[in-house]
Structure 1
Amino acid sequence: MSYVLGIPRYANVAPLYHFLEEGDGIAFRYGVPTQLNQWLLEGSVDLSLVSSYFYLKNADRLRPLPDFSIADLGPVYSVNLFHRKPWEALRRLAITTESATSVELLRYLLRADGVRAELFPEQGGLELLERYDGVLLIGDRAITTYCSLLSVIPESVHQVPSELEGVRITDLSMKWFERTRLPFVFAVWTTRKNAPPPPEIVRRLRQARSLGLGNLAAVAGSEAQRLGVPERLMQHYLWNFRYHLEVPDRLGLQAFAQAVGLPYPNDYWDV
């Protein structure tokens, strides 16, 4: 019987599993974070990348691996609020239904700046700006939407524009960094507390990550082709992430727990 891994099909996850093959006791189940969160609790997946907010909210039932994360320090480029009005003038925002973490991060940042905006779950893209002051997009949709506004691919991180065709792009992770000077952790590999991960599975995950990061150009090429975006842009995007849940990342996760009023358990599997 296969050990089922829950995987969000986002480009920033690809370095973790691109070189991990299904079979030999492992099966993949793809979904958006909100689906994976539920499947893990139900038991239809054994080990899953889950959103950090969901983990913190269910820490009595979940425990993460000690050295895996989807995190970044500064801009993430794929958790973006697209808006035409200035940040302080935002009142009605359409928000993604794919992940609670990005939504809770947005709530915190608005609250911290004294911005009183209502949030409305919606599915869609920039067309929602016809009815809302802003729209929060994450993952692949955020990347492809941003890319669709670009006329020239920036050659440097210092040339990445934050306003295109009259649309402002607020990178929520960068806004978090400006406030905290800490990384932001978006997801962690997690199991149920009563189901410890097999050491062999963890070993294969670590090996796959090592290959993914060591061959980032190949991973970026595959993901760029899948999404129909320039390979150089995808490589720039992927090299920005932190995949090892190091001490700064754990401090960032602890700060996020405090920001949203949840305890930080600091409890990881010893594998």
Structure 2
Amino acid sequence: MFEEIKVGRISYLNVLPIYYPLESKLIENNFNFFYGPPAQLNKLMAEGLLHISSTSSIEYLRHAEQYELVPDIAIGSCGPVQSVLLISRKPIAEMKGCKILVSSQTHTSAALLEILLTEYIPVNPQYETGNATELLEAGERPEAILAIGDEALNLRHHEDYPYKLDLGEAWREWTGLPFIFGVWLVRKDVADKPEIKEAVRTLIKGKEWGQSNIDRMSEITAEKSILSPDEMKSYFEGLVYNLKEKEIEGLKVFAKYLQKKGQISQVPELNFIKI
């Protein structure tokens, strides 16, 4: 028996519609939440310290043998995502050889950017890791920045970076498919436990509640953001929280490009927990 279910929770605003009804106990559960950026949650899952977690999609594609996917729950976009942005001091098409500052907290978005800037807009830039917000506050101005999550929402109108590439929008324009940035996983070694299956059903109920109450979610989230409730609603409505046929197809196409780039050795089968 599990006294509590250890659940990884990405600490970004975009997943609040999924977690709010669970964290506020509008939907009863025995979850113990662990908060952090995707890279940290990936590590905790790999070490067996979590039962279920939202993780970057590249983490699943790299280590699919360790996990099962939670059905019909994801975080992605089918068009502008707004919170995964390349911002630049020069036009994107003129960025050949340019250095892009990339957060160490993202793996999926960094891989997507590299695919887009070699396959779709072939400028083949260079990449370096760093903290964009800290550098900007110190007065430095990198040539270009890959900003994700709340940082992207805060920097998207920065006056020194007039040129932008929304990675979700670019992917859809190129492939015609949604892009899935994050998925929810269960460790394979606990996936057959009845308490885990019940936890997965509860998680899906949370997602469905959040989707049905986007106006309320927008108001609550705006209190913690520089965005207004209307801007927050626009942001939420541009996101994909489902993992159905089109989203799965988009994930598979991403996996094929990861294999082409040598980021994964093979395109794995997508295995879902049976609930």
TM-score between the two structures when normalised by the length of structure 2 = 0.88
Contact kept in structure 1, 2:92 and 2:164, CA below 8 Å: no
Contact kept in structure 2, 1:258 and 1:264, CA below 8 Å: no
Q: Counterpart amino acid of 1:115?
A: V
Partner of 1:69: 74
Rounded to whole Å, the distance in 2 between the matches of 1:118 and 1:207 is 43
Rounded to whole Å, the distance in 2 between the matches of 1:111 and 1:64 is 29
Q: Counterpart amino acid of 2:122?
A: G
Identity %: 30
Of 197, 200, 209, the match for 1:199: 197
Verify: 1:124 aligned to 2:132, yes or no. yes
Partner of 1:14: 16
Contact kept in structure 1, 2:54 and 2:184, CA below 8 Å: yes
Of 112, 117, 124, the match for 1:105: 112
Report how far residue 88 of structure 1 moved.
2.6
Report how far residue 174 of structure 1 moved.
0.8
Rounded to whole Å, the distance in 2 between the matches of 1:100 and 1:244 is 21
Partner of 2:269: 265
Rounded to whole Å, the distance in 1 between the matches of 2:29 and 2:197 is 15
Report how far residue 127 of structure 1 moved.
2.2
Secondary structure, aligned partner of 2:271: coil
Moved more, 78-87 or 250-259: 78-87
Report how far residue 131 of structure 1 moved.
4.8
Contact kept in structure 1, 2:72 and 2:243, CA below 8 Å: yes
Q: Structure 2: which 5+ runs fail to align? A: none
Moved more, 97-106 or 62-71: 62-71
Report how far residue 166 of structure 1 moved.
5.4
Q: Aligned pair count? A: 256
Verify: 1:182 aligned to 2:177, yes or no. yes
Partner of 1:246: 244
**RMSD across aligned positions (CA):** 1.8
Report how far residue 209 of structure 1 moved.
1.4
Q: Counterpart amino acid of 1:84?
A: R
Partner of 1:27: 32
Verify: 1:167 aligned to 2:162, yes or no. yes
Rounded to whole Å, the distance in 2 between the matches of 1:110 and 1:235 is 30
Contact kept in structure 1, 2:84 and 2:148, CA below 8 Å: yes
Q: Counterpart amino acid of 1:117?
A: P
Structure 1 runs of 4+ with >6 Å offset = none
Moved more, 214-223 or 246-255: 214-223
Residues 56, 250 of structure 1: alpha-carbon distance in 2 compared, 3 angstrom cutoff: same
Verify: 1:53 aligned to 2:58, yes or no. yes
Report how far residue 2 of structure 1 moved.
1.1
For residues 6-51 of structure 1, the C-alpha deviation after alignment (integer angstroms, 9 at most, x for no partner) is 0011111011111013685211110000000000111221100000
Contact kept in structure 1, 2:73 and 2:207, CA below 8 Å: no
1:133-172 mapped onto 2 (5 Å cutoff): 133-146=143-156, 149=158, 167-172=162-167
Report how far residue 199 of structure 1 moved.
2.1
Moved more, 126-135 or 177-186: 126-135
Rounded to whole Å, the distance in 1 between the matches of 2:208 and 2:218 is 15
Partner of 2:92: 87
Rounded to whole Å, the distance in 2 between the matches of 1:180 and 1:50 is 23
Partner of 1:159: none
Contact kept in structure 2, 1:79 and 1:173, CA below 8 Å: yes
Residues 48, 166 of structure 1: alpha-carbon distance in 2 compared, 3 angstrom cutoff: closer
Secondary structure, aligned partner of 1:252: helix
